[in-house]
Amino acid sequence: MKKVTKAVILAAGLGTRMLPATKSIPKELFPIVDKPALQYHIEECVKSGITSILIVVSRGKTLIEDHFDRSPELEDRLLSGGAGKAAVLAEVQAISSMADIMYVRQKEMNGTGNAVQMAKAFTGDEPFVVMYGDDVILGENPVTKQLLDAYYEYGKGVCGVQEVSEEAILKYSSLKVENLRDNYYRVDTMIEKPKKEEIYSLYSILGRLVLPANIYDILDKTPIGANNELQITDAMKILAETEKMTAVDFIGKRYDMGNKFSVMQAQVEVGVNHPEFGEDLKAYLKEFVKTL
Mean pLDDT of 22-51: 91
**63-72, 75-84, 180-189, 213-222, range with the lowest pLDDT:** 75-84
pLDDT, one tens digit per residue, over 244-264 is 999 999 999 999 998 999 999
Q: Backbone dihedral region of 261: left (phi > 0), alpha (psi from -120 to 50 degrees) or beta? A: alpha
Mean pLDDT of 42-63: 91
Residue 231 placed within a domain? yes
- Residue 142 pLDDT > 70: yes
What is the DSSP-derived secondary structure letter of residue 165?
A: -
pLDDT, one tens digit per residue, over 71-94 is 777 877 877 766 567 777 778 777
The better pLDDT of the pair 75, 115 is held by 115
- Residue 148 pLDDT > 90: yes
Domain hosting residue 19, numbered range: 6-258
Residue 279 placed within a domain? no
Mean pLDDT of 162-175: 91
Residue 197 placed within a domain? yes
Residue 148 placed within a domain? yes
Residue 107 placed within a domain? yes
The band of 274, judged by pLDDT with boundaries at 50, 70 and 90, is: very high
Residue 292 placed within a domain? no
**3-class SS letters over 198-264:** HCCCCEEEEEEEEECCCHHHHHHHCCCCHHHCCCHHHHHHHHHHHHCEEEEECCCEEEECCCHHHHH
Residue 82: what pLDDT?
A: 62
- Residue 55 pLDDT > 70: yes
Phi, psi of 251, deg, nearest 5: -100, 120
Mean pLDDT of 191-198: 90
The residues facing 189 across adjacent strands are 176
pLDDT, one tens digit per residue, over 231-248 is 999 999 999 999 999 999
Count CA atoms closer than 13 A to 142's CA, side-chain side: 17
- For the question of whether the overall pTM of this predicted structure is more than 0.85, the answer is yes
Residue 215 placed within a domain? yes
- Residue 223 pLDDT > 80: yes
Output the CA–CA distances (angstroms, integers) from residue 194 to 74, 109, 233, in the order listed.
Answer: 49, 22, 12
The band of 110, judged by pLDDT with boundaries at 50, 70 and 90, is: confident
Between vectors from CA 110 to CA 166 and to CA 242, what angle results, nearest 5°?
Answer: 65
Domain count across the chain: 1
Residue 114 placed within a domain? yes
- Computed over every residue of the chain, the mean pLDDT equals 90
Q: 245: domain CATH number?
A: 3.90.550.10
Mean pLDDT of 96-109: 85
How many residues make up the chain in this entry? 292
What is the DSSP-derived secondary structure letter of residue 48?
A: T
